[in-house]
Amino acid sequence: MPLRRPTIKDVATLAGVSIATVSNVFSGSKPVNPELRERVERAARELSYHVDRAASQLRSGQAKVIGVLVPDLDDVFFTSLVSRLEVKAQEDGYDVIVASSRDDPALEQSRLRALLGWRPSGLVAVPCSDEIPAILSDEAERLPMVLADRVLVQQAPADSVTIDNVEAGETAARHLAAMGHREVLIAASHLSFAPIRERVKGADAVLRSTVGQPPVVLELGSNSERGAEIFARWLDRHTPPTAVLALTNVTTLAVLSALAVRHIDMPRQVSIIGFDDYAWMSARRTALTAIRQPVDEMARTIWDRLVARIRGDKSPPQPIVLHTSLEVRDSVRDLGSAAAASFATTPTIEDAPDQPNPGAVR
């Protein structure tokens, strides 16, 4: 015969407190004396007691659960965003359920249906494409939600929190131009994503106007290993650019891996600007100059808007656009300095008969 599952009454009896006190400890609905909280939590651990969230929601009529959907949990940007949202949710007494669409629109629909099955208090979603899933548009009138990152603001049926991606591309390209770089390659993930297209647009406009030459744009995808293979093959057939602007943390890693395999030195032979600026980018022999996304501010803004909607804010959808910053380190060589002039001409890869067509996507 299976063992009986411990109940809230069992926890209260072992801890020597009332059932209401146990309920307050786990629901967060009322403050509990620290000493009593410790007794309740210790009793729950001894009994292996777990809160029945579904039953609690049925009794209270309120789901203290937030659904979060992101395209890919292998991407550090999305895991960083989720982590910060979890902290904000915990502070306000909410649990978070996370799902990943794996950049698959069909799977995205399935994951959204699963999240909605929890009847959450609210939803945070990063769509996997420019197309807002119909299920989100249908739920926007009834369910508090915030859309983030991969969002065409003009199409968003709910509050949206994005960064100024055109400005981010402009900022990076302006730095490269100021350092004397004309032959620039942009390492994109997917041009089907609006934020990536906007970053390319900003960089392209600056390079055309400042150095009179558009960048080469190369799609590397969302997997760093495959992206490294694509870039390595490109290097085998072309003269290396003087600089690479990588538009995501994944493409940054892909570029670094490909250069390492080909023994191309950074920044002496090829300069790099990365994207997202994580700890590993500065914990290197040559620290990376990078565009930093305001992940903390993004999570805080998403959460503030979501809580406002949960509490009854009925104002029209708000498009909130945040700004990036440039963290200047050592990975961009100054081609205009006297020291740079003493270097040999830019090395080339042997057996590279065809040259890149400026501005082409390969």
Please report how many Cα atoms fall inside a 13 Å half-sphere around the Cα of residue 50, on the Cβ side: 4
- 316 and 171, same structural domain? no
- 232 and 336, same structural domain? yes
Residues 160-192 have pLDDT tens digits of 999 999 999 999 999 999 999 999 999 999 999
Q: Examine residue 269 and state whether it is found in any structural domain, yes or no.
A: yes
Q: Examine residue 317 and state whether it is found in any structural domain, yes or no.
A: yes
Distances (CA, A) of 263 to 138, 206, 230, 348: 52, 30, 16, 12
Low-confidence ranges of the chain (pLDDT < 70): 1-3, 27-29, 51-63, 337-362
Q: Examine residue 124 and state whether it is found in any structural domain, yes or no.
A: yes
Q: Say what the pLDDT of residue 56 is.
A: 58
Instruction: For residues 172 and 252, give the distance between their C-alpha atoms in angstroms, rounded to a whole number.
Output: 13
Q: Examine residue 66 and state whether it is found in any structural domain, yes or no.
A: yes
- 262 and 234, same structural domain? yes
Q: Say what the pLDDT of residue 29 is.
A: 63
- 187 and 251, same structural domain? yes
- 252 and 198, same structural domain? yes
- 89 and 30, same structural domain? no
Residue 26 domain boundaries: 8-51
CATH of the domain at 129: 3.40.50.2300
Distances (CA, A) of 325 to 57, 165, 175: 42, 11, 12
- 259 and 138, same structural domain? no
Q: Examine residue 207 and state whether it is found in any structural domain, yes or no.
A: yes
Residues 60-114 have pLDDT tens digits of 555 689 999 999 999 999 999 999 999 999 999 999 999 999 999 999 999 999 9
Q: Say what the pLDDT of residue 31 is.
A: 81
Please report how many Cα atoms fall inside a 13 Å half-sphere around the Cα of residue 118, on the Cβ side: 21
- 284 and 180, same structural domain? yes
Q: Say what the pLDDT of residue 189 is.
A: 96
Q: Examine residue 349 and state whether it is found in any structural domain, yes or no.
A: no
- 88 and 36, same structural domain? no
Can you read off the two tokens belonging to residue 183? 């032959």
Q: Say what the pLDDT of residue 94 is.
A: 93
Q: Examine residue 355 and state whether it is found in any structural domain, yes or no.
A: no
The region that residue 53 occupies, defined by phi over 0 for left and psi between -120 and 50 for alpha, beta otherwise, is alpha
Domains held by the chain: number: 3
Q: Examine residue 346 and state whether it is found in any structural domain, yes or no.
A: no
- 160 and 205, same structural domain? no
Q: Say what the pLDDT of residue 87 is.
A: 96
Task: Classify residue 332 by its DSSP letter.
Answer: S
- 311 and 273, same structural domain? no
Q: Say what the pLDDT of residue 170 is.
A: 98
* Residue-by-residue DSSP string for 150-197: S--GGG-SSEEEEE-HHHHHHHHHHHHHHTT--SEEEEES-TTSHHHH
- 88 and 69, same structural domain? yes
